[in-house]
Amino acid sequence: MNRHQPKMARRVAGVTLLELLIVLTLMAIVAGFVIPMFGGPLSTSELRSTARQLAAGLRLARSEAVSQRRETFLVLDVAGKRFKVDRDPQEHKLPSRVELKLFTAQNDLVDESVGSIRFFPDGGSNGGRITVAAGERKFDVDIDWLTGRVAILD
């Protein structure tokens, strides 16, 4: 009887390799579901898509200014991560993880976080730049003041 007791004590105190593999597998499965919920970094394609969305809004504002022969604005809320074209009822939301910076004329800044890009009936604009960034990666949406041309720069 004394011979069997140490063997049992060793068996109860240890963990088998199979038990360890099961626990590690369960942890990997749980991590696979939980980690994406916390939102990892923004991918380059999502960043480029956001820059394209802004460029499309700017081009819409320019075409409205030319076709309707009146000044048209694209209003950008940097803090709220959204923009709106002057008379378009739809407000466009941007990804919350993107960082935005607006460079525009001083008189087109509403406050620290809201400003606009203005387009004139001749197609020109007040000019400016909207920087879309995530970490070290960034895209600049550039608006030429003379022609109103919108370009995305890497």
pLDDT at res. 30: 85
Question: Which pLDDT score, from 0 to 100, does residue 145 have?
Answer: 94
Longest C-alpha distance within the chain, in Å? 102
Q: Which two tokens stand for residue 144?
A: 């030429």
* Residue 102 predicted with pLDDT over 80: yes
Q: What is the residue-wise DSSP string for 63-98?
A: HHHHHHTS-EEEEEETTTTEEEETT--PEEE--TT-
What is the chain's mean pLDDT, rounded? 88
Of 47, 34, 40, 39, the closest CA to residue 137 belongs to 47
Distance CA(153)–CA(105), nearest Å, equals: 20
Question: Rounded mean pLDDT of 102-125?
Answer: 94
At residue 106, the pLDDT reads 92
**Look-up of token digits 């696979």:** 32
DSSP 8-state secondary structure symbol assigned to residue 60: H
pLDDT value, residue 43: 85
Return the pLDDT at 98: 94
Q: Which of 152, 60, 73 is nearest to 114 (CA)?
A: 73
> For 43-99, what is each residue's pLDDT tens digit?
889 999 999 999 999 999 999 999 999 999 999 999 999 999 988 899 999 999 999
pLDDT band at 3 (very low <50, low <70, confident <90, very high): low
Identity (one letter) of the amino acid at 67? S
> At residue 32, does pLDDT exceed 70?
yes
Residues 6+ positions from 143 with CB-CB distance below 8 Å? 58, 117, 125, 127, 128, 129, 130, 149, 150
